[in-house]
Structure 1
Amino acid sequence: MLKFFNNIDRFIHRTLEAMCSLLLAAMVGFTLYNVIMRYVFNNPPVWGDLLTVLSNIWLMFIALSLTARDNEHIALNLIYEKLPNRLSLYIRQFWKLMIMAIGIVLIIYGFELVEGMRGKYWEMWYFEISFQGIEFKENYMPKKYAVAILPLAGFLTTIGAAISFVKKV
């Protein structure tokens, strides 16, 4: 049974790492495309910067869940090494509980924030030249797309910290 849970944990971990890699590649790709379109063709896309920022937001929150799971977050290892092993373990476990609490806060308030974003949009205005002259066009993207990562990241962070807590590494 333990082997089954380890396999599921390994699959989820690899999937999250792949998502981070994909989001990083997307962020670099959007940035390169935007720069080339802006400075070479003098026609930057309206959505270029927005999707770069959106990719960055999602990347950082998914990476948060991975660092909680792998104990790669900022820690005071120098202090832990000077303390007795038992006390060091208790302090580390306490911080894992705090990370779980932060994950729960992200879940609760993340859902509230996503629900509160109803009807709010990022405005991506652009100009279009036509036979009638310069036309002011509008394009919108719901803001809840960016903040939808909060409850998901809270869940993943809580689960990751719980796995780390059980493993006591």
Structure 2
Amino acid sequence: MSTHNQTTKGFEETAIAIILGLMTMITFVNVVMRYVFNSSLIWGLEVTLILFAWLVLFGVSYGVKVTAHLGVDALTNILPTPARRFLALVAAVVCIAYAFLLLKGAWDYWAPYAALDRTSGRWFPTGFEKTRSQAWYITDQVPMLDFLRFLEGWINEGEAYDKFPRVIPYAILPVGMALLLFRFIQATFRIWRGQQDSLIVSHEVEDEIDHLQDTRSET
């Protein structure tokens, strides 16, 4: 594995680990406050849900990166290597197109919250169309952080936010879909170069079982 891949893999694993750690910490603190101090973090559940959404969307692209997604390969495994590689490339191209559509939809959903314009075109973007700003939408319970007050002047026409603006938690939609598209493109190049057989999980469990059997037979 290249140094770049190791660095990227480490970054993604770190991000996921941080999110899991924050979710665990907030939930633990909330439980202690509720049962020990008869109080609670009003915003705790909403923040945990936001973090879970970030975790899932990071995990989707990371699963493509490490070929952790499940799939059925009973048919492709009986084909010769050239045919199997061709089908893997076809599947990869379809996944790239699908991820691109998801990215367009994600941008179009998130853009109004950032006071930006949606893309025009039903399937593929043909430009941008004037979109009514929804930057004033806020979360239900999450308090506003003072160091993010600059967003009030940037996207909310100077109006103060009473709660945390939705533009930030919803940003994972275009970010996550862009990362997914990038990972599919990476996987396609790896298949083309013969570094990877498919987009789905490899037979790691079977390999481990074979390795254990070989180890036992040697002993």
TM-score normalized by the length of structure 2? 0.63
Please say which of residues 56-65 and 101-110 is displaced more in the overlay: 101-110
1:33 is aligned to 2:50 = no
* Partner SS, residue 77 of structure 1: coil
Aligned partners of 1:79, 1:30: CA distance in 2, in Å?
A: 46
* Partner SS, residue 124 of structure 1: strand
Aligned partners of 1:34, 1:87: CA distance in 2, in Å?
A: 55
Asked whether the equivalents of residues 99 and 161 of structure 1 are also in contact (C-alpha less than 8 Å), the reply is: yes
Written as runs of structure 1 = structure 2, the 5 A alignment for 1:13-92 is 13-92=9-88
1:140 is aligned to 2:163 = yes
Larger-Rg structure: 2
Aligned partners of 1:79, 1:39: CA distance in 2, in Å?
A: 55
Aligned partners of 2:11, 2:38: CA distance in 1, in Å?
A: 38
Q: Which runs of 5+ in 1 are unaligned?
A: 126-138
Deviation at 1:163, TM superposition (A): 1.3
1:121 is aligned to 2:138 = yes
* Partner SS, residue 75 of structure 2: helix
Q: Which runs of 5+ in 2 are unaligned?
A: 114-134, 143-161, 197-219
The CA deviation string for residues 64-103 of structure 1, in whole angstroms up to 9 with x for no partner, is: 1111122211211333323333332222222222332233
Name the Cα RMSD after superposition. 2.2
- Residues 148 and 82 (structure 1), Cα distance of their counterparts in 2 relative to 1, 3 Å cut: same
Partner AA of 1:161 in structure 2: F
Aligned position for 2:183: 160
Aligned position for 1:129: none
Aligned partners of 2:166, 2:140: CA distance in 1, in Å?
A: 10
Please say which of residues 42-51 and 77-86 is displaced more in the overlay: 77-86
Asked whether the equivalents of residues 102 and 154 of structure 1 are also in contact (C-alpha less than 8 Å), the reply is: no
Deviation at 1:45, TM superposition (A): 0.8
Partner AA of 2:182 in structure 1: I
* Partner SS, residue 20 of structure 2: helix
TM-score normalized by the length of structure 1? 0.79
Kindly indicate which of the two structures has a greater share of residues assigned to helix: 1
Aligned partners of 2:87, 2:31: CA distance in 1, in Å?
A: 47
Aligned partners of 1:71, 1:91: CA distance in 2, in Å?
A: 16
* Partner SS, residue 70 of structure 2: coil
Aligned position for 1:131: none
Aligned partners of 2:170, 2:136: CA distance in 1, in Å?
A: 14
Aligned partners of 2:175, 2:141: CA distance in 1, in Å?
A: 26
Partner AA of 1:147 in structure 2: Y
